Chains A and B, each alone.
Chain A
Amino acid sequence: MTTATLSRWDRFRESFLWYSFKRDKVAIASFVVLVLMLLAAIFAPLLAPTNPYDLAQINIMNSELPPIGMQGADSAFPLGTDAQGRDMLSTILYGTRVSLLIGFGAVVLQAALGILFGLLAGYLGGRVDSILMRIADVQLSFSTLMVAIIVGAVFKASFGNLMFGEIAIYMLIFIIGVAEWPQIARTVRASVLAEKKKEYVDAAKVMGFRTNRIMFRHILPNTLSPIFVIATVQIANAIISEAALSFLGLGMPETQPSLGSLIKSGFDYIQSGSWWITLIPGLVLVVLVLVINLLGDWLRDVMNPRLYKG
């Protein structure tokens, strides 16, 4: 057991991935920032001074206090408070947690759909391929954000405000996952088309393996690196989509805010001079998305997969 893990670790240290990571300062910095943010999000309940979901801990008298360093600041609230008197640091920690959860969840869902449909379209070809890819084309031409907004609007109209607020996390994962599957499906299909012609697939066919086994056990592992690259970028896209939906009021409710709904609730107070309620969560959102995008760029350069152009 120990020798197996050790050799795997050694293999990783010998790999080109690790070699190029060590030499890329931007990649290292992005990775460190991302890990810090992930840790902060995971341990938010331990790190946050107050629990923003707990109404008993909120005092309306503390509302709209500015962050430390400005006049009238309270040292108990390092990043100030929002209009309801919630500690901004705590709400941002919890909000990052919600945003990341939705981002990862949506990408897991779209990867599942995208891999399934991409494999089917690429390997089976023919009519299955043209139907699936036509659907993907149409959906992409409408832009994923537009599809997400429309689906979100329909869900909200049919569930009602209160009900939608309660199940908003699952709804958002579903909406963003379904709206963005074509991106991954196209990438998978493109690499399946290249893999399909190789000899190992012919060998597997001659040996009489079933189609399912060839698709999932033989071809899929060889298409993983482009999936990995595009999934990274897709997490950033999903987080932005979630923020956009929440900003439009089609996402997380204010009682259980994500970064997007924090920005939305702060926007109502920007004219009165309370810029920190909206701009600090905004900054956190931009940093989060930026480091994921930078890591995605780096992965693309290193793995150099045949990404679908367009």
Chain B
Amino acid sequence: MLAFLVQRISQAALVMFVISVIAFSIQDGLGDPLQEMVGMSVSMEEREALREELGLNDPKLVQYLRFAGNAIQGDLGNSYFYGKPTLEVIADHLPATLELVIGASLIILLLSVPIGVYAAIRPQAWLAKFFMGVSTVGISIPVFLTAIVLIQIYSIGVNVEWFPVETGWGQWLNGALSTEGGLPSYGRGENLTHLFGTWYSGFFTESGLMHLVLPCVSLASIMLPLFIRLIRAEMMEVLQSDYIRYARAKGLSAGRINFLHALKNTMLPVITVGGVQIGVMVAYTILTETVFQWPGVGLMFLEAITRSDIPLIVAYLMVVGLIFVVTNTLVDLVYGLVNPTVKLTGKKA
């Protein structure tokens, strides 16, 4: 176990090293700190002196070591736009993104497990086929489009007047297809509860919760089909195995077999994939936050790009890289713990 731990952690450190090199070369290639610090009127000699003083003329290796040393101490420079340390800016925006991810994960968890299990137990039922069909279509819809459609239906409202009003049916169809709208589609709402530090939560007030609905549903919509398909496939495989047949032969109730014996082994691969997908979700938060003007790190990153705020871009890269590496390593470790058959050391098969 110890060898496994050391191997995984050193691998994570290596990946973090590569990320820091990439981040450093972006900062080195794109950012010119002098441009930001001094105006046009400063002479060439003074610029040169300042360059020397800041160490911008040092060899690249020395500069990288300084960058990495500062990064380890939690100093990734100051944002040009916000005028304060980049990590502080990210800390201000991170809670909003985390709440989005938490909300979406709850929706995914609460819907994908029952639907996936149902579709595996009754693959021929029309409802199961309907769910699988919807999930195929769902995979083909980009997350920002789902978000726009949700805004149109639940925020702006739809007024359908396609059918003739004279007939009762036409009127009923018009009414059935029209929606009121009214759900907020912009920002996080008012009266957020202060939890600690920079964390203001929207989970405890009505306004905050209403603002969470559309962004969380949009973010969940892209992952939900994937998880339903995964749970269904794994569950169907487990249901074929000998120990389930034995449980059936023993006369255990169907509910006990399905939810106690089979589900336990189904969730194992789901946990690994799920852990990795949390990382993937970070990419989708950028899209979701753009549509809903959600003040999280994704929107902050996109704004940093339009403002050419290089230190903030670099800091975002390092933080997101760290999140990815930590979640992947944790998932690996947890998987190694719960599944004793996994090879702990040596090369991957």
Indicate if A149 sits at the interface (CB-CB under 8 A).
yes
Q: Is the CB of B156 within 8 A of A285?
A: no
Would you call B149 an interface residue if the criterion is a C-beta within 8 Å of the partner chain's C-beta atoms? yes
Binary contact readout A127-163 vs B (1 if CB under 8 angstroms, 0 otherwise): 0001000000010011101100110011011100000
Q: Is the CB of A279 within 8 A of B144?
A: no
Selecting from B187-195, B256-264, B278-286, the interface stretch reads B278-286
Which positions 198-257 of chain A face chain B at CB distance < 8 Å?
236, 240, 243-244, 247-250
Residues of A within 8 A of B143 (CB): 244
Question: Any chain B CB within 8 A of the CB of A270?
Answer: yes
User: Contacts A154-B30, A290-B137 known; A146 to B283 CB distance under 8 Å?
Assistant: yes
Chain A residue with Cβ nearest B327: A141
Q: Is the CB of B136 within 8 A of A141?
A: no
A154 to B136 alpha-carbon distance, docked (Å): 33
B328–A141 touching, CB < 8 Å: yes
Task: Give which listed residue, B26, B156, B306, contacts A270 with CB less than 8 A.
Answer: B156
Q: For B136, B282, B283, B302, which residue has the most chain A Cβ atoms within 10 angstroms?
A: B283
Q: Which residue of B lies closest to A275 (CB)?
A: B152
- Contact residues in A for B29 (Cβ distance below 8 Å): 158
* Nearest-CB residue, chain A, relative to B305: A153
> What residues of chain A have their CB less than 8 Å away from a CB belonging to chain B?
130, 138, 141-143, 145-146, 149-150, 153-154, 156-158, 236, 240, 243-244, 247-250, 263, 267, 270-271, 273, 275, 278-279, 282, 285-286, 289-290, 293-294, 297, 310
Q: Which residues of A contact B152 (CB under 8 A)?
A: 270, 275, 279
Beta-carbon contact of B306 and A249 below 8 Å: yes
> Which residue in A146, A271, A282, A297 is a CB contact (below 8 Å) of B156?
A271
Selected from A154, A247, A310, the residue in CB contact (under 8 A) with B26 is A154
The B107-165 residues at the A interface (CB cut-off 8 A) are 136-137, 139-145, 148-149, 151-152, 156
Contact between B30 and A289, CB atoms less than 8 A apart: no
Chain B residues contacting A141 (CB-CB under 8 Å) are: 276, 279, 324, 328
Contacts of A286 in B (CB 8 A): 137, 140-141, 145
Query: What does the 1/0 interface line of B18-29 toward A look like (CB < 8 Å)?
Result: 100000001001
Cβ-neighbour of A240 out of B136, B142, B276, B280 (below 8 A): B142
B94 within 8 A of A: no
A279 shortest CB reach to chain B, Å = 7
A244 to B144, CA, bound (A): 8
CA distance A290 to B139 in the complex (A): 8
A142 engages B140 (CB within 8 Å): no
Known contacts A145-B280, A263-B148, A282-B145, A157 near B140 by CB under 8 Å:
no
Q: Which residues of A contact B142 (CB under 8 A)?
A: 240, 243-244, 247, 285, 289
Contact with A along B309-342 (1 / 0, CB 8 A): 0100100010011001000100000000000000
Q: B250 to chain A: which residues have CB within 8 Å? A: none
Known: A285-B142, A293-B139. 4 other contacts (CB 8 A): A153-B313, A240-B142, A293-B136, A293-B140
Contacts of B321 in A (CB 8 A): 142
A146-B282 contact in complex given A141-B324, A157-B308, C-beta closer than 8 Å: yes
Select one of A244, A247, A279, A289 contacting B149, CB under 8 A.
Answer: A279
Closest residue to B273 on the A side, CB-wise?
A310
- Identify which of B15, B140, B151, B290 contacts A138 (C-beta below 8 A): B15
Known A146-B280, A270-B156: A244·B287 in contact at CB below 8 Å: yes
